[in-house]
């Protein structure tokens, strides 16, 4: 099924400048892999070489962080919105 | 084209009350580092809204913008026709210059990176661009 994926500004250039993309998938992992297939410039920025979620990326399914659901195995339904956000961190160290 | 225009932005433009909001959020977080996001126009650097966020790291030396607060800020900014264009955080005991951690972890080269130093009695605020590990200070223009 199709779900909308909202992209952070840093990833939009790799997706033709669009703020979101509509891709197919029945799990969050399938959605992210579909997104990488549709926009090869995103490859490696979301998923690591072993297929897990990159630690500097937060992925939300609607209002929930997928790390607290079933991670990449989390099921998605038609009408769900997947949001990708960069982890924003730093400090005085 | 848009990338070039963005790179040409050499300043962050905010109102005095927005600046006060940034500093107040940092002071409220003491002894921890305070943090938040700013939304506005990516082409001009004009801030439309300040979003204080929780520091998920809960630390006086590092910060992590709470991801759920980030999500809410993104949604609110989008609904009002703007976008998140930068992040602010405080250095509670050091000068307002990006640390190696700030540079290593800067997520987006198009963002404005605002640092508020609370080291002295009067807070000081600076803004930077961080791209490819290179830090460039930019002007902060305060309007009425």
Reported as a pLDDT band with limits 50, 70 and 90, residue B27 is: very high
CATH number for B134: 3.40.140.10
Closest CA to B105 of A41, A75, A93: A93
DSSP line for B84-144 = EEEEEEEESSS-SS--HHHHHH---TTSEEEEEE-SSSS-EEEEEEEETTEEEEEEEEEE-
Full residue range of the structural domain in which residue B46 is found: 2-143
Which member of B37, B99, B109 has the closest CB to residue A90?
B99
Number of structural domains found in chain B: 1
Edge-to-edge strand list for the sheet holding A64-65: A20-24, A2-6, A81-86, A57-61, A64-65
Which candidate from B67, B78, B98 shows the least CB-CB separation from A85? Answer: B67
Say yes or no to pLDDT of B4 above 60.
Answer: no
A55 has a chain B CB within 8 A of its CB: no
On whether any CB of chain B is under 8 Å from the CB of A78, the answer is: no
Hey, which residues 58-117 in chain B have their CB within 8 Å of chain A? 59, 61-65, 67-68, 70-71, 74, 78, 83-85, 87, 89, 91-94, 98-102, 105-111
Determine the pLDDT at residue B8.
Answer: 52
- The answer to whether A63 contacts B63, with C-beta atoms less than 8 Å apart, is no
User: How far is it, in rounded angstroms, from Cα A14 to Cα A10?
Assistant: 9
Asked whether the bond before B31 is cis by omega within 30 degrees of 0, the reply is: yes
- Map residue A22 onto helix, strand or coil: strand
> How many angstroms separate the CA atoms of B25 and B41, rounded?
22
Distance from CA of B16 to the nearest CA of A (A): 25
Of A10, A86, A93, the CB nearest to B101: A93
Three-state secondary structure call for residue A35: helix
Confidence of residue A92 (pLDDT cuts 50, 70, 90): confident
Domain locations in chain A? 2-86
How many angstroms separate the Cα of A73 from the Cα of each of A53, A58, A70, B138? 11, 15, 5, 43
Residues of A in contact with B71 (CB under 8 A): 60, 63, 83, 85
The DSSP 8-state label assigned to residue A53 in this structure reads: B
What does the pLDDT look like over A47-88, one tens digit per residue? Answer: 998 989 998 999 999 999 999 999 999 999 999 999 999 999
- The CATH class for the domain spanning A2-86 reads alpha beta
pLDDT (tens digit, 9 = 90+) per residue, B97-127?
A: 999 999 999 999 999 999 999 999 899 999 9
């Amino acid at each position: 099924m199709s779900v909308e994926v909202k992209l952070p500004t840093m990833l939009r250039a790799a997706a033709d400048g669009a703020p979101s993309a509509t891709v197919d998938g029945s799990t969050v992992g399938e959605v992210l892999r579909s997104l990488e297939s549709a926009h090869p410039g995103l490859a490696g920025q979301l998923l690591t070489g072993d297929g897990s979620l990159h630690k500097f990326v937060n992925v939300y399914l609607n209002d929930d962080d997928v790390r607290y659901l079933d991670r990449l195995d989390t099921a998605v339904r038609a009408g769900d919105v997947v949001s990708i956000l960069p982890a924003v961190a730093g400090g005085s160290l | 084209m848009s990338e070039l225009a963005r790179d040409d932005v050499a300043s962050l433009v905010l109102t005095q009350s927005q600046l006060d909001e940034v500093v107040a959020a940092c002071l409220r977080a003491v002894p921890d580092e305070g943090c938040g996001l700013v939304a506005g126009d990516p082409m001009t650097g004009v801030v439309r809204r300040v979003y204080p966020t929780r520091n998920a790291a809960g630390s006086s030396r590092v910060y992590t913008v709470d991801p759920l607060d980030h999500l809410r800020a993104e949604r609110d900014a989008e609904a009002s026709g703007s976008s998140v264009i930068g992040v602010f955080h405080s250095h509670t005991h050091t000068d307002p210059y990006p640390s190696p951690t700030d540079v290593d972890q800067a997520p987006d080269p198009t963002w404005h990176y605002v640092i508020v130093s609370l080291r002295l009695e009067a807070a000081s605020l600076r803004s930077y661009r961080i791209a490819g590990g290179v830090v460039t200070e930019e002007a902060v223009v305060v309007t009425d």
